[in-house]
Amino acid sequence: MTSSPVRYAILGFGHHAARRLLPAFAKCDDLTLTLTGMWRRDQEAAARDCAEHRIPHCFATREDLCASPEVDVVFITSPDAMHRDDALLALRHGKAVLCEKPLAMNAAEAEEMAAAAKAAGVLFGVAQNFRFNRSLEWMRAQIAAGRIGEAQLAHAQFCYPADKSSRRWIMDPSLACGGPIGDVGVHCIDALRYVLGEDVRSVSTVARRGGASGAVEAVASLQVEMTGGVFANVTVSGDALYRTLVEVTGGAGVLIAENGLTVDRPVQLVVYQAGEPVETTTVENGDGYVRMLDCFARAFRGEGTFPASGEDGVRNMRALDAAYRSWQSGLREHV
């Protein structure tokens, strides 16, 4: 593999890229990776962005970006409905792909993307950035060490006011995989899979529309049966004030991470045993995006693996499919 910096280009540059990714790229080691280019549909805005952020290549088309010899990795941050076509285009040009979550509109699209990456023999990952949060790493380590005994119950919650989001498309079912189930529920599912080392077997969903959510759900609760005998709940809302939480109950104790999926403020982690706190620690997740970009660059260079692979992302999409099927059928749906 090359010893020169791994060159990323952002396909579908928008609010997320400006708010989260550009600050992360700025903190990465220039000798390891660099942001070399971008494309967005609004070419005037693209030109302003490239000038303001000193991005060398402002590509005129998606094809130009994916075909460019100046690009090693295509980071796809377009709306959900575009992920499949954007990924397949990049893969046809032999580019490594890091794709935002949810990976696609459904599991069938995700499977097609993963198969294309395998056929092309290139690296394919999902930007499940919370896997690089120190809060989840700490919880995963505590569980693996048997600190709370065998995990029995788990809960992940993610709430936010969707109508205040700058990503106006997230409530448009032609562009978004769904409402908060698809947008942040996938983070909750992935977080539980990661910290527990288990997978989703079946899902039972109750949800409702309301307010500004339109055709997508506004609030939902997923009862999730996992391997290892773990019963979990995923609760999400696009109609509430911001909050994230991850907690796991075992036979010998409880782990609670208030703000566990949060990158903008300190996260308090508590171990309870017999109803009493026996350890409290605070961590920061602000470097999660930096660590994710660096890990993918190292994997591209053949130095280790990327934990949120495209194949693993397919599992999350199958869980989302089951959740949405259950909402429609009123039945527990198997993954």
pLDDT along the chain (335 residues), means of 10: 85 90 94 96 93 96 98 97 98 98 98 98 98 97 97 98 86 95 98 98 97 89 98 97 97 97 95 96 96 97 97 98 98 98
- Which amino acid is located at 49 in the chain? D
Confidence (pLDDT) at 175: 96
The reply to whether domains 6-127+290-306 and 130-285 share a CATH topology is no
Other CB atoms within 10 Å distance of the CB of residue 158: 27
DSSP string computed for 307-329: SSBHHHHHHHHHHHHHHHHHHHH
Domain 130-285, CATH: 3.30.360.10
Confidence (pLDDT) at 168: 81
Q: Which of 256, 257, 183, 172 is nearest to 220 (CA)?
A: 183
Confidence (pLDDT) at 1: 47
Confidence (pLDDT) at 2: 52
Based on the number of CB atoms within 10 Å of its own CB, is 188 exposed (0-12), middle (13-18) or buried (19 or more)? Answer: buried
b (16+ CB within 10 A) / e for 15-28: ebbbebbbebbeeb
Confidence (pLDDT) at 3: 73
Helices (H), the chain: 15-16, 22-27, 43-53, 62-67, 83-92, 107-120, 134-144, 180, 186-196, 288-300, 310-329
Q: Which of 137, 87, 90 is nearest to 112 (CA)?
A: 87
| CATH superfamily of this structure's domain 6-127+290-306 | NAD(P)-binding Rossmann-like Domain (3.40.50.720)
Q: Would you call 81 helix, strand, or coil by DSSP?
A: helix
Confidence (pLDDT) at 122: 98
Other CB atoms within 10 Å distance of the CB of residue 172: 15
Domain range summary for the chain, segments of one domain joined by +:
6-127+290-306, 130-285
